[in-house]
Amino acid sequence: MKCEQAEELISALIDNEATEPERAAAENHLRACPNCRRVYEWGRALNREIRAAGAGVVAPAGLRQTILSNQPAAPAEADSSEARRDPIFRLRPLVRPIFASALVLAIAAILFFMPPSGQPISLTALEIRAKIDRGEIPLQKQTNTDELHAWLRHSVNGEFGPLGYDFSPLNVKPIGATVQEVGGRQILVAVFRGNGLSITCFTFLGTEGDAPKNAAAFFDPETRISFYSFSRDGLHAVLHREGNVICMLVSDMPPEELLSLVRNSSPHKRHPVHAE
Amino acid sequence: MNQCMAGGKPPKDEEQRTFSHEAMTHLDHLYRVALYLAKESSDAKDLVQETYSRALGSYRQFTPGTNMKAWLTTILCNFFFHYRAQKKKWLSVEDNRADGEEPSDYWERLVSEKPGPEAAILVKELKEKVSDVLNKIPEEFRLPVVLVIMGDFSYEEAARILSCPLGTIRSRLHRARKLIYDELKEYMDIQERSERKNEVRTGGRTY
């Protein structure tokens, strides 16, 4: 065996990852080749140094406590800590009452539009997503985005259809779709997966009042669209309205990323609309 | 990166407490991997926090009895790659020599001798130098080193974590050693000679 051929075997031998035949071949070569023996010894020494360097890196003091305390002791506490990071809390004191009033009105509006019984349809959508993840809701296999959209639109007789989100930067692909009925309302559900991500796109007729009352609201001045972000059980969602259609993306990616995804991949971003 | 947003519910049952307890035993390892990925301590801390937030929020997806360290590391790596793809924030300024010309005389240079008067200082600096060099080599080679050599993962586990073929891990580790050698040769040679001298002085005993 030539030294060039032995190189990778020696590397695997150093990591104790060579197969038995490879080990035998490498050891034979090492017995006959002092240069490669030196390479082998150097590699083992390097492993020791790398491990020693790694052992010197420990989590900073306080990180453990931060992580444990970030697991919310109670939902209210978590909401509070998140809220303090919200830009509204950085507003000047004089502006706060205006926002507070607007918030009261918004909550009143949401309560008015919320179905009288049960939870908002958006939270039911989160439950649908969880059921899909658990395999409790079968999907109609759809691997082509255009066909998936057409199938969903056809399912509601063309009354409405999903938005043409562009998920190509994430390298996620359509997996399947389903139509669910909640309180007499049809929800179009499209599932995209890939690259370790799972994104579920919900589309239904409604208003911004379909967002949960504790959703954080963000206004995008460029598209003049309000986005509503909320979370439950490790799933995060961003909802916004397109005319009389509500579009809602659900994923386990962090809320700020999901918000960024919705803003940057929505058709409006590519073809901005103006004030209604 | 913003502070992580914990989406999981508080530990409320024994199963979750057990999971949380075991997960925290891997904190140093995760921080280590995060630091070699993100390179900045503040980003590494955010990465680790987000990893725990995700893991504790979806602990039921973990199969008890399987490799939790690998599971957590996978979450961390996936989040990092995704986050970087989204925000382009953590794009490190990589040394692109791996894509360039490969040293043709690697093996010959490895056996050459190069004595120097600063031997003691250089040996002392070796550990720091190892970290510097690791941060200097391209990420595609650095990660297998961090996972396999530093993190004690097998090639197979590292391949699963990075979603790549096992052969890729193997060849990248081999290539990584060459790259590291180019940077550390002087230090390693000197240390080796120093160790040899000690062996001679102590009648062949090693410490």
Q: Compute chain A's Rg from CA coordinates.
A: 27
Asked if residue A61 has pLDDT above 90, the reply is: no
Three-class secondary structure of residue B91 per DSSP: coil
Average model confidence (pLDDT) for chain B?
73
Contacts of B174 in chain A (CB under 8 A): 7-8, 11-12
Per-residue pLDDT of chain B (207 residues), as tens digits, is 443 334 444 445 777 888 888 999 999 999 999 999 988 888 899 899 989 988 888 888 888 888 999 999 999 998 888 877 766 444 433 333 334 333 333 333 343 334 344 444 444 466 678 888 898 899 899 999 999 999 999 999 999 999 889 999 999 999 999 999 888 877 666 555 555 555 444 333 322
pLDDT bucket at A109, cuts 50 / 70 / 90: low
pTM for the whole thing? Answer: 0.49
* Chain A residue numbers touching B52 (CB-CB < 8 A): 67, 70-71
Q: B69 at the A interface (CB within 8 A)?
A: no
Which chain A residue is nearest to residue B29, measuring alpha carbons? A58
Residue in A with minimal Cα distance to B185: A42
Residues of B with Cβ-Cβ distance to A251 under 8 angstroms: none
| Residues in chain B within 8 Å Cβ distance of A49 | 126-127, 130, 188
Q: How far apart are CA B184 and CA B129, in angstroms?
A: 8
CA dist A84 → A103, A196, A238 (Å): 15, 31, 19
Q: How many CA atoms lie within 13 A of A137 on its CB side?
A: 18
Inter-chain touch A257–B4, beta carbons under 8 Å: no
